[in-house]
Structure 1
């Protein structure tokens, strides 16, 4: 990428945004690297040039580049500059897994911290989707999943008490919630998911170690058993800095909701 092309194509950073400038720059450069605008092994502009392109200080540039180094996307070569690493993380896995298998892989590749576990009255929208009676309570579990010491996502799950009464903190540390439910004889039949974005509140910013106000992806997932009964409602928050959503849709599903559908609340 030439300097002239960079100057013409660089998105401007917002001085009014609650997200710090160094983090905005980090996100822009990260996206450019992962999209291949800077190829593996290629140099990126030096601190002075990046400061000119984005109209920010060298300190801001230095912080953004340091974060990209920490994420394994850039490397500094003494006396030569900063380069995109040759061993960038793969953008797509070689093969996809079924839903339960993907949950199992996630369980194996991450560490879990149980933040909350209680039996409580579910919020009205959750109670409605789980078809809970007015007097029926639910097991509420909030967990943080991490890998290599870096937080990846926060999951907030609700399960009818009649199904999850034997769920414990120790059990959640050893197994995924889906495994505990399968151990109770539940067999999953289908899952409905909704994906949206929202600004990060201070609590989530603390848990995920991102700036308050930065964008988060939010996934609502409602799991049904083979009899069509809703058995788990879960909300997952994660940041696009460390996670992506991958869908592998069978051609037969392209004309169904299985391929996803964009809805507009207007």
Structure 2
């Protein structure tokens, strides 16, 4: 006889969490299909999915559209006070970064971007959309908006590389003061599609507005991280 749903959900969560914590289900490994898991736990697909959803919200597992459920890898540590870039940050933690350019174009700036970059109405900006991976897993969708006055011809360069390094090597521009805004959010359609997850899934949105070494507003980034991929850790010096 099957357990009542609330008790079954708790039991499934506990069992899978213990398997993950003991290393029996390893980071990045795929869980059996939902039908198989329903048989293992002698429960309904509805009850199983509720349990899987709870484990996903805890960051223990994640789902990819049309692929199934996987055990979440360890989060990467992110300190916004440290001057670095994605590839360096990930590599320094022994992980493998990769970047894919989704699109790059000159476009009219939205009212929000005009406000962030203090541009007049009807201004144009470079928009660069990228998806980023850690150890092969899609974890970050980011939209970069650049003031074209400071970066002529930038779309001709290899935009899979670090923009931080590209700015320095080709334009003698280095980041100065930066403003961060971090809020939990739900993934919109473009971000969800890039990360191969369902629209409305949980994410951490980080908006960065950057000035250069001369104090000029040069660009802003809108990052959408999978909620289980990142650990924000800040140590404030004395």
The two structures have a TM-score, normalised by structure 2, of 0.67
* 2:177 maps to which of 162, 187, 190: 190
In the superposition, relative to structure 1, how do residues 115 and 9 fare at CA in structure 2: closer, same or farther (>3 Å)?
closer
| Matches of 1:125 and 1:91, distance apart in 2 | 31
Asked whether 1:113 is paired with 2:95, we answer no
2:223 counterpart SS class: strand
Q: How far does residue 110 in structure 1 lie from its aligned partner after superposition?
A: 2.2
Whether the 8 Å CA contact 2:8–2:47 is kept in 1: the answer is: no
Q: How far does residue 227 in structure 1 lie from its aligned partner after superposition?
A: 2.8
* 1:150 maps to which of 137, 141, 150: 137
Q: How far does residue 161 in structure 1 lie from its aligned partner after superposition?
A: 0.6
In the superposition, relative to structure 1, how do residues 97 and 50 fare at CA in structure 2: closer, same or farther (>3 Å)?
same
Whether the 8 Å CA contact 1:197–1:217 is kept in 2: the answer is: yes
Name the structure 1 match of 2:225: 238
Whether the 8 Å CA contact 1:51–1:57 is kept in 2: the answer is: no
Max Rg structure = 1
* 2:154 maps to which of 162, 167, 175: 167
Name the structure 2 match of 1:101: 84
Name the structure 2 match of 1:56: 47
| Matches of 1:232 and 1:194, distance apart in 2 | 15
Asked whether 1:40 is paired with 2:22, we answer yes
1:56 counterpart SS class: helix
1:162 counterpart SS class: coil
Q: How far does residue 233 in structure 1 lie from its aligned partner after superposition?
A: 0.7
Name the structure 1 match of 2:199: 212
| Matches of 1:57 and 1:190, distance apart in 2 | 48
| Matches of 2:162 and 2:137, distance apart in 1 | 19
| Matches of 1:91 and 1:207, distance apart in 2 | 20
Report the more deviating stretch, 141-150 or 153-162.
Answer: 141-150
Q: Which is helix-richer, 1 or 2?
A: 1
Whether the 8 Å CA contact 1:117–1:169 is kept in 2: the answer is: no
The two structures have a TM-score, normalised by structure 1, of 0.61
Q: How far does residue 92 in structure 1 lie from its aligned partner after superposition?
A: 6.6
In the superposition, relative to structure 1, how do residues 192 and 52 fare at CA in structure 2: closer, same or farther (>3 Å)?
same
| Counterpart mapping for 1:17-96 below 5 A | 33=17, 39-41=21-23, 56-57=47-48, 71-72=70-71, 89-90=73-74
- Relative contact order: is structure 1 or structure 2 higher (C-alpha 8 Å, sep ≥ 6)? 2
C-alpha distance after superposition, 1:9-59 (max 9, x if no partner): 949xxxxxxxxxxxxx8xx679x84xx89632479xx8568566997159x
In angstroms, what is the RMSD of aligned CA positions?
4.2
Give 4+ residue runs of structure 1 displaced > 4 Å after superposition.
6-9, 46-55, 64-70, 89-93, 95-98
Unmatched 5+ residue regions in structure 2?
1-5, 26-36
